[in-house]
Amino acid sequence: MLNNKLNITSEIELSKEEERITKLKALELFDKKIIDQFEVGTFNGLSEIHKYLFDDIYDFAGKVRNVNLAKGNFRFASVLYLDDVLDSINKMPQTNFDEIIDKYIEMNIAHPFREGNGRSTRIWLDLILRKELSKVIDWSKVNKEDYLLAMERSPVRSIEIKKLLNSALTDDVNNREIYMRGIDVSYQYEGYYTYSISDLDK
């Protein structure tokens, strides 16, 4: 289990508190327009999102990981090359949908943080789409199994994830309900189901 600032020793309890706290922080990002202050499309911007979400829980919030990570048979970018990888991602273009998703795929492969990569990076992706294309993804229209499978294949075959996300684009970029639903779905991808963000928003 990860060391945490809450001094929780139960993995189940930590998972619940992490979900509750970070969902409330994600809502703050939107409601207080803090999200508009972050750099768009850079690792620095992603780091700011991650730090805001996880700073009350982990010392490593917003910091590049110092351990190697893997999920199943897939190994994310090696710690030895992570700084160079993030440098390269910063330089990738983001002028159209294909370029933006390519950048998102590379950031997912980099997986720069010890925990919370997917949840932070999906917010980061929507910020890029909003700035460059005046669109965001309605994540409630993206099936979990389809998404996870497409992301797993994306390093060698990006057409699936591009088709899946393109079909869920909306130009309703300031819709709070779409944002809130998106956070819930994003967390469900990672196995967090305890709290609905609408229930916390009271």
DSSP assignment letter at 189: H
Nearest CA-CA partner of 111 in 46, 26, 164: 46
For all residues of the chain together, what is the average pLDDT?
Answer: 96
3-state secondary structure of 55: coil
Nearest CA to 125 among 159, 100, 88?
Answer: 100
Please determine, looking at this structure, whether the domain spanning 11-200 carries the CATH number 3.40.1080.10: no
DSSP H/E element including 161: helix 159-166
pLDDT at 201: 86
What does the pLDDT read at residue 68?
95
H-helix or E-strand spanning residue 164? helix 159-166
Contacts of 41 (CB under 8 A, 6+ apart): 90, 94, 103, 124, 127, 128, 131, 132
**pLDDT for the residue numbered 108:** 96
Q: Quote the CA–CA distance of 10 and 12 in Å, as a whole number.
A: 5
pLDDT tens digit sequence for 8-27: 999 999 999 999 999 999 99
**The total number of residues written for the chain in this structure:** 202
Would you say 189 and 200 are in contact if contact means Cβ atoms under 8 Å apart? no
The stretches of 8-158 forming alpha helices (DSSP H) are 11-31, 43-54, 82-91, 97-110, 117-133, 144-153
Kindly list the domain boundaries of the chain, sorted by start residue: 11-200
pTM comes to: 0.96
Residue 175 tokens, joined: 């819709």
Return per-residue pLDDT of the chain as tens, 202 residues.
789 999 999 999 999 999 999 999 999 999 999 999 999 999 999 999 999 999 999 999 999 999 999 888 888 999 999 999 999 999 999 999 999 999 999 999 999 999 999 999 999 999 999 999 999 999 999 999 999 999 999 999 999 999 999 999 999 999 999 999 999 999 999 999 999 999 898 7
